[in-house]
Amino acid sequence: MSSHIQPPAGWAPPGAEFRTSNNVSRTVTGTLVGLSVTPIGIGLAAHGGLGTRQWVILGDEGDRWSSNAQMIGGALLLFLVALLASYSPVGTVIAGLVWGLLPGAVQLFFPHDLWRLIEQTPGLSEEWRLALYNWVLNGWGLVLGLLLIGAGLAATLRRR
């Protein structure tokens, strides 16, 4: 005999009709946050990396701390996107595909078109375009995309 008492067939707790599974809203929210925070993190990390490269080559250490602060800020934002996988794995995977794997694939298969695509990005100065171009050209887009996709997949598999 079972020690658990089973509720009658068709019975639901009070208020159950008002409950929804928040999976859709979590997915939409996570995707929007991932798609908006990831390019900001990439931009900060890429621009900080370009600034660091310049002070190393030119020996101008006056801008060293602002470049490092940009890289740290960008890394923290990308960390938040990876952490977002615990809330919405789909958002992290989509951000990794759109902002990492896709630009990395363009760089691998169509390297001559990469600069043209980055140059057409509205609202960026020439310095920011160069920073993004170097970021993707050096393979960081592909690395970031695979890491974010891996974080999303790991969170999905962990839930099961």
- Per-residue pLDDT at 115 exceeds 60: yes
Using CB atoms within 10 Å of the CB of residue 26, give its burial: 0 to 12 exposed, 13 to 18 middle, 19+ buried: middle
3-class DSSP state for residue 119? helix
- What pLDDT does 20 receive? 58
3-class DSSP state for residue 16? helix
Enumerate residues 6+ apart whose C-beta is below 8 A from 154: 85
Answer whether 103's CB lies under 8 Å from 68's CB. no
Where does residue 30 fall: left (phi above 0), alpha (psi -120 to 50 degrees), or beta otherwise?
A: alpha
Burial 109-135 (b: 16+ CB within 10 A, else e): eeeeebeeebeeeeeeeeebebbbbeb
- What pLDDT does 139 receive? 92
- Per-residue pLDDT at 62 exceeds 80: no
State the pLDDT confidence band at 21, using cuts at 50, 70 and 90.
Answer: low
Backbone φ and ψ for 5, nearest 5 degrees, come out as -90, 125
3-class DSSP state for residue 103? helix
Cα distance between residue 30 and residue 16, in whole Å: 25
- Residue 11 is classified by DSSP as -
The pTM score is: 0.80
